Structure 1
Amino acid sequence: MSRPVAALMISLFLVSFTFSLPGVTSSVLHRSSSSSSSSRNYRRAHSLGSSYDFDPRDGWTTFNATNLPQNSSSTLESRSNKAKTNSGKGKAGVSDVTDVALKALSKFTGVNITWYTGHDLLNPSCWANSKWTPTDESFVCALTLDGWETKPKCFDFLELCNGPQKCVYARVVDSCAGCAAGSKHVDLTKAAFGQLASLDVGILPIQMRIIDKPGKSEWNEDIWGPPI
């Protein structure tokens, strides 16, 4: 048998063998595609790895987080009359990606976290005039309005972790006038809080730090609002 004919027969055999194993082929192709993608899913909790150590030198501090709804009568006043300041000028699954950590910029002392919804999402105070309004599906937060001298600034990004395998990012876009003056308090949207724990959880020990913002190619206005 001549070499060209033999080569043709081998090629036909390989093609036939490939199509006879669609499951295997599909799996192999999927893995190849996945391994070449470095995109991050910012809508889901990410993992820093099971052996990750929350070292204070990396900007981490431990604190208790609560998820008392804004209509709770226990600790928070309603935010319906929250002051507006343009301070911007001065159930969940865990992503398989473990290298999503953005650069840490600072560290903070302990704070409390709650989640908010409804009319409290309207008119985020970090913009003087903005057509964008957060929803329950956004990944943003509001901070104590008065007295927290070292609080993150408007439009800072925070990384919050319930252990090393459940972490989320949230952008600061609003002020919480109903949060006690001087308290270190962060209100998360339901989607962000829900990635860390059930909304029914009372007190949750978590870690928090300020991190660098995502790059232009990764920016998602639906969950963070317009860039500045």
Structure 2
Amino acid sequence: MVSQPSVLVVEDEAPQREILVYNLEAEGYEVAQATSGDAALDMAREDSPDLILLDWMLPEISGIEVCRRLKARSETRDIPVIMISARAEEVDRVRGLETGADDYVVKPYSVVELMARVRTQLRRVRPGAVGELLEFDDVSVDTGAHRVYRAGEELHLGPTEFRLLTTFLERPGRVWSREQLLDRVWGRDIYVDSRTVDVHVGRLRKALRNATGTDDPIRTVRGAGYALG
């Protein structure tokens, strides 16, 4: 099974935060919480969530400033940010989007609509987690049907190799460290030695090569990790 998308909720008002967390968990997402801008910046850098729900009005550092800093950092700029605000004026919406927010939702909001917006953003960064067809060169994965093909030939992968390939296909060209792959494929709360990643990448490579008897699409980046293509 593909690991579930992770969402960081940044909201200092407990009732609002609890509503968001409840509905996100009901959708099956892994949810982390932050009540301040400083905490949000630290958690985004350390945990690299798939999506951030960010309230505008935060103590000390505003949500707008948090968004600006997230988008200025190379390690967090690609994380989608949905800004949530009571500011409904067009000038505020424009300011939020120009700061780098990927979407802007006005309070009071429809929970159903907000969850739809969450799914839209996650479909862009985690298509494998929402049942999309993933393709790169002659490799394709139907995550809904749990089928893998290379050059038209169906492959039979173990569950860990399937999750690895899906992760690579979601971001072709991105270099994944062993630690990042451990978090994405095995989960943050499970202890696995980082060398286990090498073993399963080796199995995945063997399966992909055996399909066509040709090239290995997975690239080893010395001192950094692995990438597809």
TM over 0.5: no
Higher helix share: 2
- With normalisation by structure 2, the TM-score equals 0.22
Q: Which has the larger radius of gyration?
A: 1
Tell which has more relative contact order, 1 or 2 (C-alpha 8 A, sep 6+).
Answer: 1
- With normalisation by structure 1, the TM-score equals 0.22
